[in-house]
Structure 1
Amino acid sequence: MSNSNLKHLERIKENIDKSADLSPEEKSNSMKHIEEWYAEDQAWGTFINKLAQISPKVEAILAELGLI
């Protein structure tokens, strides 16, 4: 995850937490979804890095696709 995306994610979490319009349940559900998305994003990055390590040819394919 890029630093700018991480900063946006932190701002979203802070504002959800501070919101007077959301119930505790809505806040909790929102935070769970954010954490799930973050974990999936990290896993995807790990997966792409592992694929890229297999061969320079695989790395070139991933680069052509804009994944690395």
Structure 2
Amino acid sequence: MKGFKMPKYEQLKEAIEASETLTTDEKTQSVKHIEEWVTEDRAFGLIYDELVEVNIAFKEIFRELGLV
């Protein structure tokens, strides 16, 4: 696809998998951590959106906590 840019986390996963320095176990663990972080990040976005929908005051709460 012309102009398609792979997300940075996908680029990182590919670089890890292609590494000749890391062991198979290190590669597996690293990719697993990246996938968990991406999932957590997406979940946080959903939580934020849902709570702000309940009450706009959540925007300020998240801001005060330094989460956004």
TM-score range relative to shorter protein: 0.7 to 0.9
How does the TM-score come out when normalised to structure 1?
A: 0.74
Partner residue of 1:48?
Answer: 48
Query: In proportion to residue count, which structure has more helix?
Result: 1
Partner residue of 1:34?
Answer: 34
Partner residue of 1:20?
Answer: 20
Alpha-carbon shift at residue 62 of structure 1 (Å):
5.7
Q: Which runs of 5+ in 2 are unaligned?
A: none
Q: Distance in 2 between matches of 1:26 and 1:32?
A: 10
SS at match of 1:22: coil
Measured against aligned partners, the alpha-carbon deviations of 1:24-63 in whole angstroms (never above 9, x if no partner) come to 100000011011111111110010000110123434x268
Partner residue of 1:11?
Answer: 11
Q: Distance in 2 between matches of 1:22 and 1:58?
A: 43
How many aligned positions are there? 61
How does the TM-score come out when normalised to structure 2?
A: 0.74
Q: Distance in 2 between matches of 1:15 and 1:38?
A: 17
Supply the RMSD in Å over aligned alpha carbons.
2.3
| Higher relative contact order (Cα pairs below 8 Å, separated by 6+ residues) | 1
Q: Distance in 1 between matches of 2:21 and 2:57?
A: 51
